[in-house]
Amino acid sequence: MPRYALLVEYHGASFAGWQRQKGVPSVQGAIEAALAKLEPGEHTIAAAGRTDAGVHALGQVAHCDLTKDWDPFRLSEALNYHLKPDPVAILRCAHVDNAWHARFDAVERRYLFRLISRRAPLTSEAGQLWRVNHPLDTSAMQAAADGLVGHHDFTTFRSTICQAKSPVKTLDEFRVEEVPRDVGTEYRFHVRARSFLHNQVRSFVGTLERVGAGAWTPEDVKAALAARDRAACGPVSPPMGLYLAGVRYPTDPFT
């Protein structure tokens, strides 16, 4: 059976997350339903990472197995046709080896979190950014982020329902970018690692927001990390500002 890699973009507001769940809409379920329109029967796809309810993706990667040898471009076009009106798009499609796996072959995942400081509510971008109504100190947030980079026990920033075998991970990059806007200021948190714990990025951003607001210091974040205690974590940010920005493989399947 031919195997195909899919580069997927989606708006997560209308989904209960990536993973297929009985009785609620999911991104995985939407794509599998579209595949069934092309080749009747049950389909199971695997993804590089499972995103939670309300979380978006700019570059999720999944793979599927089909019986027909599809031209990758025609497959992506057909899937996009059958995915309508769901806010899911197949950006690219490629033939891959039958042993290739979207999750297990990934060597890096990148997340983006978008936060905006402005008094007025969001309208056209509602559900795409987390809004706060107070200014934030970018330098202080970056100083706190720098203390999280490296090989650490991230128990403090791990959900209590996380199923990972170990809380020890290596964070390769944590960059805070300030983007001036006509109204307010946007803050973008760029985070890169081989893999992440459940709610790790949202726990990071919620804690750093407290640093930016002046309620915490970068030293407080270091102490929270060292505590290895979930109770030491700051607030967890809401999901709407989080994006799975990209996944890297030893060889890019789409080139």
Choosing from 52, 137, 146, 153, the catalytic residue is 52
- Per the DSSP assignment, residues forming a β-bridge with 92 are 7
| Spacing of C-alpha 209 from chain mean position | 18
For residues 100 and 3, is the Cβ–Cβ distance under 8 A?
yes
Distances (CA, A) of 173 to 111, 113, 176, 201: 10, 13, 10, 12
Q: In the structure encoding, which two tokens stand for residue 191, read together? A: 């985070």
Q: What gap in Å lies between CA 190 and CA 194, rounded to an integer?
A: 14
Q: What angle do CA 36, 40, 42 make, to 5 degrees?
A: 65
Concerning whether 97 is annotated as a catalytic residue, the answer is: no
Q: Which amino acid is at 5?
A: A
In the chain, the DSSP E strands lie at 3-10, 46-47, 56-65, 88-96, 108-117, 130-132, 150-153, 168-180, 185-193, 242-248
> Could you list the active site residues?
52
